[in-house]
Amino acid sequence: MPDSNARPKSSNNFNKLKKRLEREVGKAIADYNMIGEGDRVMVCLSGGKDSYTLLDILLTLKARAPVDFTLLAMNLDQKQPGFPAHVLPRYLKELGVEYRIVEEDTYSVVQEKIPAGKTTCSLCSRLRRGIIYRVASEWGATRIALGHHRDDIVETLFLNMFFGSRLKAMPPKLHTDDGRHVVIRPLAYCAERDIARYSRQREFPIIPCNLCGSQENLQRKQIKQMLAEWEQQYPGRSGNIFKALGNVVPSHLADGALYDFSSLGAADGEEDTVFDPPDVAGPALGIYRIG
């Protein structure tokens, strides 16, 4: 039976990594009030490193959380050729988590609708979302937990800027368009490199995505490469970009729906500072931890 508290080799480094991820997930949950008393949290498990880590950390935090909530695991079997359908049921059964494997042949739909060589992600994502929301309603889930991490959020910001002309990313918490579901991203503060290290140490039974993962010219991959090069040249840049999403000054952007520029007079407004240096000597951030 998999043990979320198992200690693999190099346990000292692993424990530090585990505590960091737990601290970051706990802080995200607290900052955005993601999980409350009595919530039924449906964790969407794809078989990738991110969703495995999400479920693993939430199980650990649940044991010492100040509120009582239920964890449910849901996997969508999209009928991709070669998909190892036995892996997740066996893993979740041994873990002792209530789960559902939902079988929907979205693979055939995507292959039929998208011309060869074109990106399948957009249609695949829409189909997945619809199924996830339907299952959440059927199961009585009050929260839908997705495994998107800090790097996903930053990449989405640049994707929307470069290709959609929008200043938009992935929020850590949101209501679906119809208002029926609350989606949460507890890994929002976690770096992908930490999740990858954690996943390798825990030896999760990873299932690769052969539907879209084999497409080499995706825009997201280009953005990921750009950010990786930035991070190598300027360590900490991705983290700073993410923090900027929580430090927005609408009066220094250009969206009239967010700020009433038309009513500004000659003596109104704020000082026109082009660049504000970071407050290096500012107060240390407090860290929230469940339990």
Q: Which of 171, 278, 148, 172 is nearest to 220 (CA)?
A: 148
Taking the C-alpha atoms of residue 288 and residue 35, their distance in angstroms, rounded to an integer, is 14
Q: Where are the domains of the chain?
A: 11-226
Phi, psi of 49 (to 5 degrees): -60, -35
Taking the C-alpha atoms of residue 151 and residue 57, their distance in angstroms, rounded to an integer, is 18
Task: Specify the pLDDT at position 44.
Answer: 96
CATH number of 11-226: 3.40.50.620
182 contacts 173 by C-beta, under 8 angstroms: yes
Taking the C-alpha atoms of residue 97 and residue 50, their distance in angstroms, rounded to an integer, is 17
Task: Specify the pLDDT at position 5.
Answer: 53
Task: Specify the pLDDT at position 287.
Answer: 36
Which tokens sit at 208?
């690769």
Task: Specify the pLDDT at position 214.
Answer: 46
Which tokens sit at 241?
């970009």
Q: Which residue has the tokens 């979205």?
A: 106
The count of other CB atoms within 10 Å of the CB of residue 128 is: 16
Compute the residue count for the chain: 291
Task: Specify the pLDDT at position 281.
Answer: 41
283 Rama sector, left if φ>0, alpha if ψ -120 to 50, beta otherwise: beta
Q: Which of 46, 39, 54 is nearest to 198 (CA)?
A: 54
Taking the C-alpha atoms of residue 78 and residue 76, their distance in angstroms, rounded to an integer, is 6
Q: Which residue has the tokens 């937990």?
A: 145
pTM for the model: 0.84
Q: Which of 90, 94, 40 is nearest to 62 (CA)?
A: 40
pLDDT, block means (10 residues), the chain with 291 residues:
53 93 98 97 95 97 94 91 89 95 85 71 81 95 97 95 94 92 98 97 87 58 92 94 95 93 72 59 39 39
39 contacts 264 by C-beta, under 8 angstroms: no
Task: Name the packing angle between helices 237-244 and 150-164 (round to 10°).
Answer: 70
State how beta strands 182-184 and 98-103 pair. Answer: unpaired
Which tokens sit at 54?
């999400």
Task: Specify the pLDDT at position 228.
Answer: 93
